[in-house]
Structure 1
Amino acid sequence: MDILVSTEWLAGEIGKPDLRILDASLFLPGTPRDPRAEFEAAHIPGAAFMDLPTLADPDDPTPGMLPSDAMMTQRAQALGIDPDSRIIVYDNSPTHSAARGWWMIRLYGLGASVAILDGGLPKWVAEGRATQSGAATPAPGNAIARRAGGQVATKADVLTNIASSEAQVLDARGAGRFTGAEAEPRPGMVSGHIPGSRNLPSSALFHADNRLKSKDELRALFTSAGIDIGRPVITTCGSGVTAAILLAGLELVGNRDVTLYDGSWSEWGFDPATPKATGAA
């Protein structure tokens, strides 16, 4: 399965026994929206709520850090995922958080394949397609989560990379947060960016109807941000969510040598010992 599937494709697959549809909506801190309440008000028929905001390590002080294999297994089974499941992830969020859900499902080796619904719920609804309301209680699945190695960058990795410049670092936050001109949404966090990193706001990768831009358009965006698509990249953002969008976009244009800094600015910005830069890249 490709990284992206269309709403037309999904409409033709709904109801097939191996298909699992997951709502991975998530909002930035301070956003007055409730992803679970919105799911229960209207979701794609047959979908289950991934509850991405709670799918994180509860013992890590940095918000949104990846959960243990055991926690991911428990959540996957509650979502009805089996080893042969074809999984489609979507969202109804301006952060386009489905990419984080897609990346996590793949990282933990869940299901037979996983893809992002291009355009998400907004495009689905705009096309007049049916939705359901209420909570979802899928039959339990039997998938086992085993996190793959080598796909996640740590703070130590990024610190080492500042000296080596082995990988390019690409930040998905808005330009104001990257330069330090705008405050971070998390109280007490300094603004700025990882020294040497480049900036490409994740919102730039999408059309107005929430579809990802074409491969040629994505390639031009990465190039204009100063990224050599043929070299390794570490993606980062505020808390590891929109960084997954950049990772997906880079894979779409042929770069598979991409890791995601899971702690991102939520970890880096709160640590007084990490070096920080302000201004343009």
Structure 2
Amino acid sequence: MRCWRIGVVRAVTYIETSLSRSVALTPVFSRPHHQDQLKAHKLIRWLLIHSRVPSPDHKIDNWCTMSKRAIQLLTPLAYRGMVSTARADSRIVAVDGSWYMPNNPRDPVAEFKTERLPNSRFFDVDGIKDPQSSYPHMLPSLSDFNAAVSKLGIQKTDKLVIYDKVGNFSSPRVAWTFQTFGHENVFLLNNYPKYLECAYPLEHSAETAESHNSSQYESTEFDKNAVLSFEQVVDIVSTKSKRDQYTILDARSFGRFTGDDPEPRPGLSSGHAPGAKSLPFSKVLDDNNVFLDQSQMIEILKNAGVEPEKPVIVMCGTGVTACILKAAIDSVGFNKGGVQVYDGSWTEYAQRAGSDLIVKGND
């Protein structure tokens, strides 16, 4: 079985490499490039049918070593293969989870209306959250999540492919949110700019951006083990014997971690929690915001102190980019001890923790 898996992975890698070279050497809309795409899709279809590896219509959990709550990366080519081999009764829904920092003038909603993957829905990171919380991106209640996702017309059995326009910035947070509320078939496109390079299909009409019908999405599950509260984090970091049982990763920039650089939010102290280690989210991405290959990722994670069997806590500024680290850890199978996201992250922690629990420097 393992040999078949390796064979398919190598074949898909070869196809992607060949297709990338074709894109680089050939005009985007030229006929040879189109023929390369067709050949690639046909070969992926053949591999999915004739190999012993299940097709995307089967649950990945049955043959993947990752846990049920692992974020699963999907290349643009594999996504197109998934779409082309989907059964008539199997829905694949793309979800645009684009979000930008407050100081960025880009408008994700306007961008969604003019360019998106076919059959996309827009997930509003700033809107689908806990409205009662004073912190930016706390998870919504189960009822609020169900209501918001129902408006998007998403069904519980849909296979979701999450993406964002940056590449891998806010989409991991959206993927993690769906998984935390029990949605099983969640994939993360790696990534949107790479999809554009391949000149795959897009939608541009503003009229069809919200033309879907609503649904009756009903999740009854909330994975409490996926998320940590402020009280839980403080209980862990306050005692050395407890925090040593975890690898605590901070995805913010190194300067904010050490306290040398200010936080973007006025009046908020920079620094880090006791026992935390700095791993800026940019370290696990290349210059095009594509996740690094497995060997590079493993080396970076090991250097940060991540061990396959040891529980990991990830945090950042507001709980968004911490999920990039979770996706990286999941993608290499270093999640056997579990990966938990501190939802409030540094914005909550720095406001509520005592000064004795805010560390400066790089201890």
Q: TM-score, normalised by structure 1?
A: 0.93
The answer to whether the aligner puts 1:181 opposite 2:260 as a matched pair is yes
Residue from 203, 214, 224 that aligns with 2:293: 214
Q: Distance in 1 between matches of 2:215 and 2:314?
A: 32
Q: Distance in 2 between matches of 1:154 and 1:194?
A: 14
The structure, 1 or 2, with the larger RCO (C-alpha pairs under 8 Å, 6+ apart) is 1
Tell me the secondary structure at the aligned position of residue 154 of structure 2: coil
Q: Distance in 2 between matches of 1:272 and 1:117?
A: 36
The answer to whether the aligner puts 1:71 opposite 2:144 as a matched pair is yes
Q: Distance in 1 between matches of 2:167 and 2:332?
A: 23
- Tell me, yes or no, if the aligned pair for 2:167 and 2:193 is still in contact at 8 Å: no
- Tell me, yes or no, if the aligned pair for 1:223 and 1:229 is still in contact at 8 Å: no
Q: Distance in 2 between matches of 1:196 and 1:237?
A: 15
Q: Which structure is larger by alpha-carbon Rg, 1 or 2?
A: 2
Residue 230 of structure 1 deviates from its aligned partner by 2.5
- Tell me, yes or no, if the aligned pair for 2:166 and 2:289 is still in contact at 8 Å: no
In structure 1, list runs of 5 or more residues that go unmatched: none
In structure 2, list runs of 5 or more residues that go unmatched: 1-59, 65-71
Residue from 75, 83, 98 that aligns with 1:6: 75
Equivalent position of 1:279 in the other structure:
361
What whole-Å deviation, never above 9, does each CA across 1:100-144 have from its counterpart, x for those lacking one?
01101111012x40010011x211112222322223232222221
Q: TM-score, normalised by structure 2?
A: 0.73
- Tell me, yes or no, if the aligned pair for 2:251 and 2:315 is still in contact at 8 Å: yes
Residue 265 of structure 1 deviates from its aligned partner by 0.4
Tell me the secondary structure at the aligned position of residue 160 of structure 1: helix
| Structure 2 residue identity aligned to 1:23 | D
The answer to whether the aligner puts 1:114 opposite 2:186 as a matched pair is yes
Moved more, 14-23 or 199-208: 14-23
Equivalent position of 2:29 in the other structure:
none
The answer to whether the aligner puts 1:264 opposite 2:335 as a matched pair is no
The answer to whether the aligner puts 1:34 opposite 2:107 as a matched pair is yes
Q: Number of aligned pairs?
A: 279
Q: Give the direction of change, closer, same or farther, for the CA distance of 1:38–1:225 in structure 2 (3 Å limit).
A: same
| Structure 2 residue identity aligned to 1:189 | L
- Tell me, yes or no, if the aligned pair for 1:233 and 1:259 is still in contact at 8 Å: yes
Q: Distance in 2 between matches of 1:199 and 1:94?
A: 22
The answer to whether the aligner puts 1:124 opposite 2:206 as a matched pair is no
Equivalent position of 1:140 in the other structure:
214
Equivalent position of 2:27 in the other structure:
none
Q: Distance in 1 between matches of 2:250 and 2:346?
A: 9
Question: How large is the RMSD of aligned CA atoms in angstroms?
Answer: 1.8
Q: Distance in 2 between matches of 1:30 and 1:270?
A: 21
Moved more, 57-66 or 175-184: 175-184
Residue 29 of structure 1 deviates from its aligned partner by 2.4
Moved more, 192-201 or 205-214: 205-214
**Identical aligned residues as a percent:** 31
- Tell me, yes or no, if the aligned pair for 2:164 and 2:171 is still in contact at 8 Å: yes
Write out the 4+ residue segments of structure 1 that deviate beyond 3 Å after TM superposition.
12-17
Tell me the secondary structure at the aligned position of residue 249 of structure 2: strand
Residue 158 of structure 1 deviates from its aligned partner by 1.0
The answer to whether the aligner puts 1:149 opposite 2:224 as a matched pair is yes
Higher helix share: 2
Q: Distance in 1 between matches of 2:318 and 2:166?
A: 15
Moved more, 11-20 or 81-90: 11-20
Residue 53 of structure 1 deviates from its aligned partner by 1.8
Residue 94 of structure 1 deviates from its aligned partner by 6.4
Tell me the secondary structure at the aligned position of residue 198 of structure 1: strand
Residue 179 of structure 1 deviates from its aligned partner by 1.2
Q: Give the direction of change, closer, same or farther, for the CA distance of 1:89–1:250 in structure 2 (3 Å limit).
A: same
Equivalent position of 1:226 in the other structure:
305
Moved more, 76-85 or 5-14: 5-14
